């Protein structure tokens, strides 16, 4: 009977051991793929710039692709965590029969690795999202940079065209308006809208390096600054040119005014002489004497006529085609003068 009891007890023990062994094999079949996946999927949070470039990407499209791949990895991780529930249930089934330290160690080791991978994966997810946001900001900054630097460049080209002096200015007022416009444009380079826009462009480049490897524009800040320096030189040259033009126009204006004044004096003298000659009364000898006096006066007026002729020639030399102060011309003045002389000569002879 004792042997029977012993045999029954031994049979139960052996059956239990066999079941435990079977369950342990089942446990290992469940836990080993998880452990192997953990070893193959070891990841780390990047620290160096090179590592960050590899893990987080260097462009929005690259980072978005990495985010999709990382999401696939997260799904695999979730699948492994789900498998660990079966591992835990199998362990509980084993421990209901017998505590096996190797089983407990394998389960806790796998859970620790999964937990570590989960923590790292979450950090990488945050890093990828942060990197994507950063790259998108840089991309937007580059687009903004391209648009604003193009506006600055066009403004500079417009100013360069303006100060090239292509248009001809015909009056002092026009020159003064041009000088005011030049001063206003020059002021815009040092303050105002253009300067403010240039500051924004420089700020984008300083904060985001938006001018480096910018696919949206070929313009660079160094080229813009070179153009501004060249423009300032041209502005100074144009201002000097305008000053010379103003002086020339003022001199021409004085010529016109003086010619107009002298030509008016000439006309008044000529008509006055005609009137005096017609109004004089007396005997024949007195009229002859008076006419000869008028001839002397007429001859003496030759110097003033020469002065008018000199002014007229100066106006021709200066390219003055019209006198805004008078419509009298030298040819008519000379003809009028000679006609008075002929009239006096005929009067004397008569």
Tens of pLDDT, residue by residue over 143-199, are 999 999 999 999 999 888 888 766 666 678 888 888 888 888 888 778 878 889 999
Report the pLDDT value the prediction gives residue 216, as an integer from 0 to 100.
93
Evaluate whether 310 touches 240 at the Cβ level (below 8 Å): no
Check whether 301 has a pLDDT greater than 80.
yes
- For residue 58, the 8-state DSSP code is S
Is 210 exposed, middle or buried, given 0-12, 13-18 or 19+ CB atoms closer than 10 A? buried
Residues 258-283 as b or e (16 or more Cβ within 10 Å = b) = bbbebbeebeebbeebbeebeeeeee
Binned at pLDDT 50, 70 and 90, residue 40 comes out as confident
DSSP at 171: S
Distance from C-alpha of 299 to C-alpha of 295, rounded to nearest angstrom? 6
Is residue 123 classed exposed, middle or buried when 0-12, 13-18 and 19+ CB atoms within 10 A define those classes?
middle
Whole-number pLDDT of residue 245: 84
350: which 2 tokens? 């008569």
Q: How confident is the model at residue 271 (pLDDT cuts 50, 70, 90)?
A: confident
The tens digit of pLDDT for each residue in 82-100 reads: 999 999 999 999 999 888 8
Q: What Cα–Cα distance (Å) separates residue 157 from each residue in 160, 167, 185, 231, 296? A: 5, 16, 12, 9, 67
């Amino acid at each position: 009977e004792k042997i029977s009891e012993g045999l029954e007890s031994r049979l139960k023990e052996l059956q239990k051991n066999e079941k435990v062994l079977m369950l342990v094999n089942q446990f290992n079949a469940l836990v080993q793929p998880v452990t192997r996946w953990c070893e193959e999927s070891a990841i780390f949070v990047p620290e160096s710039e090179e590592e960050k470039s590899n893990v987080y990407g260097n462009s929005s499209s690259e980072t978005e692709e990495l985010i999709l791949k990382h999401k696939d990895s997260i799904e695999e991780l979730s699948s492994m965590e789900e498998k660990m529930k079966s591992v835990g249930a199998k362990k509980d089934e084993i421990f209901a029969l017998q505590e096996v330290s190797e089983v407990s160690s394998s389960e806790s080791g796998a859970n620790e690795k999964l937990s570590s991978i989960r923590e790292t994966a979450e950090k990488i997810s945050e890093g990828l999202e942060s990197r994507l946001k950063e790259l998108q900001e840089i991309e937007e900054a580059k687009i903004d940079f391209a648009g604003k630097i193009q506006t600055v460049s066009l403004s500079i080209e417009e100013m360069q065209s303006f100060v090239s002096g292509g248009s001809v200015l015909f009056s002092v007022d026009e020159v003064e308006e041009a000088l005011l416009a030049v001063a206003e444009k020059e002021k815009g380079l040092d303050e105002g809208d253009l300067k403010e826009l240039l500051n924004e462009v420089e700020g984008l480049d300083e904060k985001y390096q938006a001018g480096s490897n910018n696919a949206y524009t070929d313009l660079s800040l160094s080229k813009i600054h070179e153009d501004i320096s060249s423009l300032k030189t041209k502005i100074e040259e144009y201002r000097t040119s305008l000053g010379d033009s103003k002086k020339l126009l003022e001199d021409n204006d004085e010529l016109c005014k003086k010619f107009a004044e002298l030509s008016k004096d000439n006309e008044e003298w000529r008509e006055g002489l005609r009137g005096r000659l017609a109004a004089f009364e007396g005997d024949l000898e007195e009229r002859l004497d008076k006419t000869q006096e008028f001839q002397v006066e007429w001859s003496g007026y030759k110097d003033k006529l020469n002065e008018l002729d000199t002014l007229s020639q100066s106006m021709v030399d200066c390219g003055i085609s019209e006198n805004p102060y008078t419509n009298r011309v030298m040819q008519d003045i000379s003809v009028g003068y000679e006609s008075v002389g002929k009239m006096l000569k005929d009067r004397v002879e008569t």
